[in-house]
Every structure is written in C-alpha cells, then in structure tokens.
C-alpha cells in the first residue's frame, strides 16, 4: 500500500477520535495544523498514527529519497565561557587541563588533511572563548576558502555570533554580512535548545536568548543565505514548550524561507549537570520526529543525526518523517560521544551509510550542503569501500 492509501484507511477508521481525524484530514489536504493540535498530537497520538501522517508528508515531499553528506568537523575548543547544564562537552575555563584550544594553524592543518578526500563541507562549531573572536573567524573562513574554494563552510551558531559581534561592537546585520564576505556559506542549527525563556534560563543561562537566536538567523536569511534549526528535547521541557519552539521556527520560515532542515536533538544525560534527568525512549524519539514533520510544513527536510541516536533508530526514523541522516562523520566530533551517545567513535563509510538506507527500503542520495545531488547511490556498484579516515588530532597548545 502507498502512503496515501495508508492515510485514507486511517481516516476511515471508525474508532479514530474526532480531533485526531480532523488533524489527519488536514494533513491529507495539505493544510497546516495549529499550536493546540500540535500539543494534542504529543499528548494523545499513538506512534502508528503519527507514522502514517509523517510518512505521507515525507513521501509527498521526497518519495523514498534519503539524503546524507560527506563532511568533517572542526571543534576549535571544548572550553566555554558558558555553563549549559546539559553540556557534557564543555569544560569551564578553570578546568583547562581537560580541554583543547586549537590555533589557526591547527585548524588549517585539519582542513589540509582532507585535501584528497571527496568531502563537500566543513562543519565548524565548539565552545565560546574570548580569543576566538570576529577577526579570528574571519581569517579562518577566508583561509579555508583560499585553500579549498569548493569546500562549503558551515560554521558557528548564534551563540558564538552574538558573543563575537558584541565584543566587536557590530550589530547582527553588519556582523553577518562581514562573515559572509569572509567565506561563511551557511549556519548549522545548534544553540537553539528550547526557546521558551523559563526553560532556557534553567538549562542555558547567559548565552543568547531564543529571540536573539531567531534574529541572527533572520539577518542571515535576509542576505539570501541558508541555515538549519535544532531543538534539544527530552529533558525538563513540557510538550507545549516543544510546540512553542517549532511555532517560532515556522513563523520565521514563513517570513524568510531560509531554513533547510530541522534537526531534533535527543537530550543525552551522561557526564553533565542534568544526569539525573532520564532520557527519552526510542518510541518518544520517533513520535517527536513525526510531530516535527507534521508541524513544520514549511521546512523541506527533517534530519536524524545518526551519530547521536544509533544506526537502528536512524533507520526507523526514515518511516517517521525523516529524510536526511546527516553525514559520514569521522572522529573529529566529540560532542555526542561525550554526552553518552551510542556511537563512541562516530564513523560510517559511504558504503555502510548507503546500505543502512537501502536496508530501510529507501533510496540513498549523497547531497551537498544545499541539497544538490552529488551522487545517486541507488544502483551504484561499489568497487571499493570509501572509508572515512581517522586522523590524529593536531597537537594542542
Ligand atoms: O546546540 C549539547 C546539542 C548542539 C547535548 O546543523 C546536546 O547540520 C544532546 O547543532 N545531549 C550542537 N544534545 C550540534 C548541532 C548539530 C549537529 C549536527 C548537525 C547540525 C546541522 C547541527 O548539540 C547544541 C546542543 O543543542 N547538545 N549537549 C547533550 N547532552
Ligand atoms: Fe558552551 Fe555550547 Fe556547551 Fe553551552 S552547549 S556550555 S554554549 S559549548
């Protein structure tokens, strides 16, 4: 049965409650659901119901296509002036012995090591420290682009931009324009956490507010540029805080159309100040992907970050609204392994990733950052496996 037949059968089910039936009919008609309906889905809808709706939307938008990209990460430092309670990664400045601080040369060395690799993107994000200021990042981005012009620079979040622009005494619009001129090409989705002030205050005090996060993305979109959005869920927030978060994103997207992908990030509780908070179940994770797919009707893509949720859940998520499972990472990212993700050394070869997608009955596509097709892997025959390489990290100052 096709996704639309599944939805029709569901709507005809005489046991379906009137409120859920009305939501299903809206989805079938391509209509937007309301804030209250979003909350109702979280409170009342079963996983199987959500799966039918989310898969219907996913297949309307993308059929079976499932995207991934080949990128590498640079994490300039794990020291941070902020102290987010959920963060297993950052070490306060006073705990310097646990930390690393890469110099400009260290970071350029990482880029150089990928010279012969078919990667299309470098993803740069880490802690916030005074020496990583606006001139530092302007120089870094422009030197990366000089070295490898076709490598897409996806870097930093409003958390860093708010901090470095304040220090440089420039407003958001000027700051984002200058970063673009230095070689920045898109912004990852991090730092969003939960926008609602009372929750944000408890888990991510002092860093940019939800409104500031949204304003910085808006300025970036006004320059014709694209970005992603995340939501850190499954901690102290309630369902309506998640819907409030997505509502703000949906409204901004209506104004700018600049978001590409929404990435729900499951809270992981290892080695952080919120370790007493239980993690969400896989069922809850899949429900959350599905509701995000249904609520964010104006977002093209929903991404599951496989390194964080395990390969099996990533496969399952492809039936619950997800059409992107990020990239072939190597071990240059530590954010997740340090927070207790299943993948302690996140790496998957292109062949592994392609097989993972095919085994879930989907059609694997390698994309670039802006979702242009790089390679269609559906009928691709691998003559040799394209493995990610493990590089020794540069010496830390
Ligand atoms: O903002 C930190 C999250 C984010 C934990 O745009 C945690 O393509 C769960 O945004 N449990 C940064 N999450 C990573 C990020 C990202 C990742 C992959 C792709 C993209 C993209 C963006 O990581 C932070 C924070 O929300 N995070 N600690 C934790 N304990
Ligand atoms: Fe710093 Fe980011 Fe960790 Fe918060 S989440 S403490 S801003 S590294």
216, 249, 265, 280, best to mutate for ligand 1 pocket (most atoms within 8 Å of CB):
265
- What pLDDT is attached to residue 384? 63
Q: Which residues pair with 259 in a beta bridge?
A: 227
State whether the beta carbon of 75 lies less than 6 angstroms from ligand 1. no
> Do 81 and 130 meet the contact criterion of CB atoms below 8 Å apart?
yes
Q: Which residues pair with 62 in a beta bridge?
A: none
Q: Which residue's alpha carbon is at the smallest distance from atom 21 of ligand 1? A: 188
Give the chain as a 3 state SS string: CCHHHHHHHHHHCCCCCHHHHHHHHHHHHCCCCCHHHHHHHHHHCCHHHHHHHHHHHHHHHHCCEEEEECEEEECCECEECCCCCCCCCCEEHHHHHHCCECCHHHHHHHHHHCCCCCCCEEEECCCCCCCCCHHHHHHHHHHHHHHCCCCEEEECCHHHHHHHHHHHCCCHHHHHHHHHHHCCCEECCCCCCCCCHHHHHHHCCCCCCHHHHHHHHHHHHHCCCEEEEEEEECCCCCHHHHHHHHHHHHHHHHHHCCEEEEEEEECCCCCCCCCCCCCCCHHHHHHHHHHHHHHCCCCCEEECCHHHHCHHHHHHHCCCCCCEEEECCCCCCCCCHHHCCCCCCCCCCHHHHHHHHHHCCCEEEEECCCCCEEEECCCCCCCCCCCCCCCCCCCCC
- d(CA 154, CA 10) in angstroms, rounded, equals 41
> Do 68 and 327 meet the contact criterion of CB atoms below 8 Å apart?
yes
State whether the beta carbon of 339 lies less than 6 angstroms from ligand 1. yes
Phi, psi of 236 (to 5 degrees): -100, 0
Question: What is the CA(252)–ligand 1 centre distance, in A?
Answer: 21
Ligand closest to 187 (CA) is 1
Least confident stretch, 19-28, 32-41, 82-91, 181-190: 82-91
The per-residue pLDDT for range 104-143, each reduced to its tens digit, is: 999 999 999 999 988 999 999 999 999 999 999 999 999 9
State whether the beta carbon of 272 lies less than 6 angstroms from ligand 1. yes
State whether the beta carbon of 69 lies less than 6 angstroms from ligand 1. no
Closest CA to 232 of 195, 182, 259: 195
Question: What is the CA(314)–ligand 1 centre distance, in A?
Answer: 16
Q: What's the pTM value of the predicted model, to 2 decimals? A: 0.93
- d(CA 170, CA 174) in angstroms, rounded, equals 6
Question: Ligand 2 — pocket residues by CB below 6 A?
Answer: 80, 82-84, 87, 89-90, 127-128, 159, 204, 207
Q: Where are the domains of the chain?
A: 3-61, 65-376
Q: 65-376 belongs to which homologous superfamily?
A: Aldolase class I (3.20.20.70)
Q: How confident is the model at residue 390 (pLDDT cuts 50, 70, 90)?
A: very low
Question: What is the CA(265)–ligand 1 centre distance, in A?
Answer: 6
pLDDT score of 32 more than 70: yes
Question: What is the CA(87)–ligand 2 centre distance, in A?
Answer: 6
Which atom number of ligand 1 is nearest to the Cα of residue 89? 28
The per-residue pLDDT for range 293-337, each reduced to its tens digit, is: 999 999 999 999 888 888 899 999 999 999 999 876 554 455 555
| Other Cβ atoms within 10 Å of 376 Cβ, number | 12
- What pLDDT is attached to residue 276? 97
- d(CA 281, CA 296) in angstroms, rounded, equals 22
Q: How confident is the model at residue 393 (pLDDT cuts 50, 70, 90)?
A: very low
Ligand closest to 307 (CA) is 1
pLDDT score of 376 more than 50: yes
Q: What percent of the chain has pLDDT over 90?
A: 81
Question: What is the CA(75)–ligand 2 centre distance, in A?
Answer: 12
State whether the beta carbon of 193 lies less than 6 angstroms from ligand 1. yes
Question: What is the CA(222)–ligand 2 centre distance, in A?
Answer: 27
- What pLDDT is attached to residue 355? 92
- d(CA 330, CA 343) in angstroms, rounded, equals 11
State whether the beta carbon of 227 lies less than 6 angstroms from ligand 1. no
- d(CA 241, CA 198) in angstroms, rounded, equals 10
């Amino acid at each position: 049965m096709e996704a639309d037949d599944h939805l029709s059968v569901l709507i005809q089910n005489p046991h379906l409650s009137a409120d859920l039936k009305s939501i299903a009919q809206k989805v079938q008609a391509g209509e937007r659901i309301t804030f209250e309906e979003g909350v109702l889905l979280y409170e009342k809808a079963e996983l199987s119901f959500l799966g039918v709706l989310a898969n219907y939307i996913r297949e309307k938008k993308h059929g079976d296509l499932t995207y991934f990209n080949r990128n590498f990460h640079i994490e300039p430092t794990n020291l941070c002036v902020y102290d987010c309670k959920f963060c297993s990664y950052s070490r306060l400045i006073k705990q310097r012995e646990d930390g690393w601080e890469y110099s400009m040369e260290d970071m350029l060395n990482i880029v150089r090591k990928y010279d012969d690799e078919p990667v299309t993107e470098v993803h740069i994000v880490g802690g916030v420290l005074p020496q990583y200021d606006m001139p530092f990042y302007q120089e870094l981005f422009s030197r990366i682009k000089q070295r490898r012009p076709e490598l897409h620079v996806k870097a930093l979040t409003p958390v860093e931009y708010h901090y470095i622009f304040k220090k440089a005494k420039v407003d958001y619009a000027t700051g984002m324009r200058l970063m673009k001129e230095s070689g920045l090409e898109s912004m990852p989705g991090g730092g969003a956490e939960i926008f609602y002030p009372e929750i944000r205050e408890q888990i991510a005090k002092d860093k940019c507010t939800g409104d500031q996060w949204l304003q910085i993305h808006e300025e970036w979109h006004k320059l014709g540029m694209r970005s992603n959005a995340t939501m850190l869920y499954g901690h102290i927030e309630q369902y309506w805080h998640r819907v409030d978060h997505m509502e703000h994103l949906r409204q901004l997207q209506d104004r700018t159309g600049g978001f590409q992908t929404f990435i729900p990030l499951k809270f992981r509780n290892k080695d952080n100040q919120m370790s007493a908070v239980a993690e969400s179940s896989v069922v809850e994770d899949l429900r959350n992907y599905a509701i995000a797919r249904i609520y964010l009707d104006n977002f093209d893509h929903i991404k599951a970050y496989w390194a964080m949720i395990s390969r099996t859940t990533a496969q399952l998520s492809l039936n619950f609204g997800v059409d992107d499972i990020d990239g072939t990472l190597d071990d240059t990212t530590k954010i997740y392994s340090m927070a207790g993700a299943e993948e302690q050394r996140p790496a998957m070869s292109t062949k592994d990733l392609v097989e993972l997608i095919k085994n879930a009955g989907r059609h694997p596509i390698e994309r670039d950052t802006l979702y242009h097709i790089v390679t269609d892997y559906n009928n691709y025959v691998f003559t040799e496996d394209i493995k990610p390489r493990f590089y020794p990290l540069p010496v830390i100052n």
